[in-house]
Amino acid sequence: MPNIKAEYYSDELLDWNDSIDFNNDEMDLLTQRLTEVIRRDSIVDIAAKVEVHQARINGLLHKFQKLQFEIEQQEAALTIDDVLVEDTLINTETEKRQALLRSNMQATEKEYIDVKFGCYHFLSGMLKK
């Protein structure tokens, strides 16, 4: 098994991509719900309140998009002709990039959780009215 590290890194990247896709789907749903609030409520300044949440969601969409691009680059560094490289070909730079991606992914997911639950809190408050 000369490519155990490459396989681990590749699996990790795949999991992150799947997680990003799932989060993007959830953010699309949140955006739809925020739009529905504006359509059905005639409360003064509701659009400004919705805009705050939408801006945070848009910022995260951008961060996840950037992460997906970096994941694609890392996947390319781990393969030659669509075959995983041997561990001996994984250099320090590739390991550092993987660690940085891991750190950025964790930070962005934590931020997403805060944004998601803040948005849910806002939406549930709107349902009470």
The mean predicted confidence, pLDDT, of the chain is: 91
Residue range 30-51, pLDDT digits in tens: 999 998 888 876 666 788 889 9
Beta bridge partners of 110: none
How many Å apart are CA 12 and CA 126, to the nearest integer? 38
Q: What backbone phi and psi angles, to 5 degrees, belong to 79?
A: -130, 155
Residue range 65-105, pLDDT digits in tens: 999 999 999 999 999 888 899 888 889 999 999 999 999 99
Tokens, residue 76: 């390319």
pLDDT of residue 46: 82
Predicted TM-score of the model (pTM): 0.88
Burial of 6 (0-12, 13-18, 19+ CB in 10 A): buried
pLDDT of residue 129: 60
How many Å apart are CA 63 and CA 71, to the nearest integer? 12
Domain ranges for the chain = 4-128
- Name the percent of the chain lying above pLDDT 70: 93
How many Å apart are CA 19 and CA 42, to the nearest integer? 36
